[in-house]
Amino acid sequence: MWNRRKRSQSDQSDEVIFPLKIDELKNLLVETFVNSSSLNFTKYKINNKNVAVFFIDYQVEGAKLGPFLEPLLEFDSDKEFTYQTLLNGLPLSTGSTSNTLKDIQKKLISGEAFIYIEKEKQAISYPLTIKETRSPGKAETESLVLGPKIAFTESILKNMNIIRWQINSTDLVFEEFTVGKQAPREVRIAYMKSVANEDDVNTIRQRIKELDVDQIEGTIVLKQYLEDSQTNLFPQFDETELPDRFAYNVTRGKIGVLVDGSPTSFIAPATLFSFLESTEDLYMRWQAGSFLRILRFLAMFFSILVTPTYVAAATYQYAIIPSQLLVSIGQSRAAVPFPPIFEALLLEFLLELLREAGARLPTKVGQTMGIVGGIVIGQAAVEAGLTSNILIIVVAMSALSSFTTPSYLFGTTIRLIRFPLIILAGFLGLAGIVFGVSFLLIHLLRLTSLGRPYLVPIYPLRLADFNKVFFRTPFSYESKRAKSYRPKDLIRFNKKDAKQKRDIDE
């Protein structure tokens, strides 16, 4: 019943409404158009012909309106006034014609201005769209010390422009899609035609095309719709707001996705390790780059394991604590009335509170918040006998390590994993940690991203890709793209040629 009525309604708006009188058109528009209050409808009489100009005023750029109306109002009275003669006088290009109500309405809301000459069979329109955007600013969530500071903005046109200048190649494809039935949004997938794996491109194309939703809120939401498993804790595509990171991945054969109105993009496929990569590793010398990458990798394990290990050791396996440390841990524990698991959860909870409060508060207050929280509350907690001071250090270490993850989404995942592990450690000791870690490993082994294994290059093993993932080698050794993603073209440059020395003497 509902469906049928809806269809009949839309049928009506699909009908050709012209030719019409100007007043009739105005009435029709005011009656059917929900946004009629902001509709600017003006009647002119030129060369004895009634002409209507209409647009939505806030969607149209005022400065463009002048050159649009000028040839119309100053029309040569000798000539016959038709669309053809009018078009010759208009300095604008890309005009289009429309003759159904639906079409007109659609164009109106996207910022086109219409001209209709009475009794004609169609109306012509020109896009005078104004689109309010922010100019590209500095990256906020992913900050870099070296490298370009520019970040994506909300405008997809600007974003594409930035990427085009990062990858100035005819090989770069921006394929356009529209997602969302009720409120459609423009989605673009970017890839290198001669590099990106065809299967991957097809997969993402298919997933976007077959997506049946009313609307999407932005890139991260689209990312969740497109992921292999939505119920999963781990992010399966890599999100970024940095054009250089986007460009780096796209040139290496991955596929980037942009959504209009969203200042982030995402890159597919991803692996567990791609979340720990930063473009800064490339800007550093290879030794420093490798060091930072390994550091981040260790920090991930550290962040997950250090608090649970403390809990396990203080509750069950006291024997793993070195003798010298045993005394200091034991003495600071002796003042605490709670079991270690409760103590650890309390402090972790406190830390998460601080972090969340710092993120929500305005920047200036947020900074003081961090200092006050970290120093004062920590010290007070120890003095009040709520926690041991060793645990303060342990928790601070694990928090600090979790901050090293370049991807904010992945960092959040690591934050979450800690809690079940602490609880397991509190109930089962080291065996619990081993159980938890094994469970995680099995889970990660089964995960896929765009159908590709999540733990590549460790599983399946691709030794040749280790220097792109776990450490960095000098660029002359990176003549190939990562084999794990099966790019069409594996070779980046001639390896032999790169190693050749060119002295002036030769």
Question: For another protein, which residue of 178, 331, 438, 494 counts as binding (CB under 8 A)?
Answer: 331
Nearer to another protein, 127 or 426 (CB): 426
Question: For another protein, which residue of 137, 339, 451, 474 counts as binding (CB under 8 A)?
Answer: 339
The minimum distance between CB 315 and another protein, in angstroms, equals: 5
The minimum distance between CB 395 and another protein, in angstroms, equals: 17
Positions 302 through 321 that interact with another protein (CB under 8 A) = 313-319, 321
- The residue whose two tokens read 């006034």 is 81
When asked if residue 334 is in the footprint of another protein (CB under 8 A), the reply is yes
Nearer to another protein, 253 or 340 (CB): 340
Query: Is the alpha carbon torsion for 270, 271, 277, 283 positive or negative?
Result: negative
Distances 357 to 54, 352, 398 between C-alpha atoms, Å: 49, 8, 19
277: left (phi over 0), alpha (psi -120 to 50) or beta: beta
Distances 160 to 187, 240, 286, 287, 407 between C-alpha atoms, Å: 11, 14, 30, 33, 22
The minimum distance between CB 6 and another protein, in angstroms, equals: 38
Site string for another protein, 359-378 (x = CB under 8 A): --------------------
Listed ranges 53-61, 94-102, 173-181, 323-331: which one lies at the site for another protein (CB under 8 A): 323-331
Number of amino acids touching another protein (CB under 8 A): 25
Which are the contacts of 68, defined by CB distance < 8 A and separation ≥ 6? Answer: 90, 92, 113, 126, 128
- The residue whose two tokens read 């002295």 is 503
Question: For another protein, which residue of 147, 184, 330, 373 counts as binding (CB under 8 A)?
Answer: 330
| Amino acid of residue 238 | D
Nearer to another protein, 300 or 329 (CB): 329
Site string for another protein, 379-418 (x = CB under 8 A): ----------------------------------------
Site string for another protein, 422-441 (x = CB under 8 A): -----xxx------------
Question: For another protein, which residue of 336, 395, 417, 425 counts as binding (CB under 8 A)?
Answer: 336
Separation CA 104–CA 418 (nearest Å): 55
Nearer to another protein, 339 or 474 (CB): 339
The minimum distance between CB 333 and another protein, in angstroms, equals: 5
Question: For another protein, which residue of 111, 269, 340, 457 counts as binding (CB under 8 A)?
Answer: 340
Nearer to another protein, 129 or 328 (CB): 328
Separation CA 456–CA 462 (nearest Å): 7
Nearer to another protein, 25 or 381 (CB): 381
The minimum distance between CB 131 and another protein, in angstroms, equals: 49
Asked if residue 24 lies in contact with residue 5, where contact means CB atoms within 8 angstroms, the answer is: no
Separation CA 104–CA 271 (nearest Å): 46
Asked if residue 274 lies in contact with residue 300, where contact means CB atoms within 8 angstroms, the answer is: no
250: left (phi over 0), alpha (psi -120 to 50) or beta: alpha
When asked if residue 89 is in the footprint of another protein (CB under 8 A), the reply is no
| Amino acid of residue 126 | Y
Nearer to another protein, 335 or 357 (CB): 335
Listed ranges 118-126, 224-232, 245-253, 335-343: which one lies at the site for another protein (CB under 8 A): 335-343
| Amino acid of residue 457 | P
Asked if residue 253 lies in contact with residue 488, where contact means CB atoms within 8 angstroms, the answer is: yes
When asked if residue 335 is in the footprint of another protein (CB under 8 A), the reply is yes
Nearer to another protein, 304 or 314 (CB): 314
Nearer to another protein, 32 or 317 (CB): 317
Asked if residue 253 lies in contact with residue 481, where contact means CB atoms within 8 angstroms, the answer is: yes
When asked if residue 329 is in the footprint of another protein (CB under 8 A), the reply is yes
| Amino acid of residue 452 | R
How is 225-241 classified by DSSP, letter by letter? HHSS-TT-SS--SEEES
Question: For another protein, which residue of 326, 346, 434, 437 counts as binding (CB under 8 A)?
Answer: 326
Asked if residue 260 lies in contact with residue 156, where contact means CB atoms within 8 angstroms, the answer is: yes
Positions 181 through 210 that interact with another protein (CB under 8 A) = none
How is 172-221 classified by DSSP, letter by letter? EEEEEEEE-SSS-EEEEEEEETTTS-HHHHHHHHHHHHT---S---SHHH
Q: Which residues pair with 138 in a beta bridge?
A: 150
Nearer to another protein, 91 or 322 (CB): 322
Query: Is the alpha carbon torsion for 329, 332, 337, 341 positive or negative?
Result: negative
Asked if residue 189 lies in contact with residue 257, where contact means CB atoms within 8 angstroms, the answer is: yes
Nearer to another protein, 263 or 308 (CB): 308
| List of residues contacting another protein (CB under 8 A) | 313-319, 321, 323-324, 326-327, 329-336, 339-340, 427-429
